[in-house]
Homo-oligomer: A and B are copies of this chain.
Amino acid sequence: MSKNEKISNSVIRRLPRYYRFLGELLNEGITKISSRELAERMSVTASQIRQDLNCFGGFGQQGYGYNVSELRGEIGAILGVNEDHAAILIGAGNLGRALAVHLDYGRYGCRLCGIFDSNENLKGEILGGVKVSPMSELESFCIKNKPIIAMLCIPKDAAPEICEKLTELGVKAFWNFSHYDIPQKNLPGVTVENVHLGDSLMYLCYGINDKRASDEKPEN
């Protein structure tokens, strides 16, 4: 990270998408690309790409463009996709087990190392190669294994308490799928991603209604 200023959240949010598109280019055997060409592919402006990348350093070459493989490596390093952060999943219901099985954690700098559920019947079940443990074992597990990411797929009411407990146990990042909003402000040094699939679906519904409204009165 060659520059010393704080990187804005808008920029950081775009990095994973750059990383993905560069991976695709690599798969297609494309070795170099200009900001203009990449912008075209990604439906963004070339200016934005150059600005974003220059927050971290001069990864390009004037008159030439960017080396795809190299740039992807740089962005990957910034994001930390080569790390091996220990992650635990709390809640092995429908969504929890899908996340356990469906995601390729290694690609995103993490490793799923523990799954916990309050339902004793699930004890011992294997999901995504990891055994489900009862909640009673959560604390001792965390003390021993020091997970720094916790994925929450639990009911809303259980979330605040578990969130607090895990924070005390040293968790540094919450990937929260519960209906509870984890308030980032009370947790200095902790990164929070409140996913809220319902919000995302409502946004879609708004879009549908809105489109219909403008169809009805297209005078604008």
- A residues with a Cβ closer than 8 A to B are 1, 4, 6, 12-13, 15-17, 19-21, 43, 78-81, 83, 85, 93-95, 97-99, 101-105, 107-110, 148-149, 172-173, 175, 179, 181, 183-185, 189, 191, 193, 195-209, 211, 213, 215, 220
Residue of B nearest to A4 (CB): B220
A175 touches B200 (CB 8 A): yes
Residue of B nearest to A83 (CB): B205
A81 touches B202 (CB 8 A): yes
B83 touches A94 (CB 8 A): no
Residue of B nearest to A186 (CB): B43
Q: How many angstroms between the C-alpha atoms of A196 and B17 in the bound complex?
A: 9
A207 interface neighbour in B93, B104, B191, B202, Cβ under 8 Å: B191
A193: B residues at CB distance < 8 A: 200-201, 203-204
A201 touches B108 (CB 8 A): yes
Sort A-B residue pairs by CB-CB distance and give the 6 closest, nearest first: A191-B207, A98-B98, A16-B199, A80-B209, A94-B102, A16-B202
A6: B residues at CB distance < 8 A: 220
B211 touches A191 (CB 8 A): yes
Which of A101, A102, A175 has the most C-beta atoms of chain B within 10 angstroms of its own C-beta? A102
Smallest beta-carbon distance A213→chain B, Å:
7
A149: B residues at CB distance < 8 A: 204-205, 208
Q: Is the interface of A mostly helix, strand, loop or mixed?
A: helix
B195 touches A175 (CB 8 A): no
B95 touches A16 (CB 8 A): no
A103: B residues at CB distance < 8 A: 197-198, 201
Q: List 30 A-B contacts (CB under 8 A).
A: A6-B220, A15-B206, A16-B196, A16-B203, A17-B196, A19-B202, A20-B198, A78-B209, A79-B205, A79-B209, A83-B209, A94-B98, A95-B99, A98-B98, A98-B99, A103-B198, A105-B201, A108-B202, A110-B201, A172-B208, A172-B211, A173-B204, A173-B207, A173-B208, A175-B200, A189-B211, A191-B204, A191-B208, A193-B203, A193-B204
Residue of B nearest to A75 (CB): B202
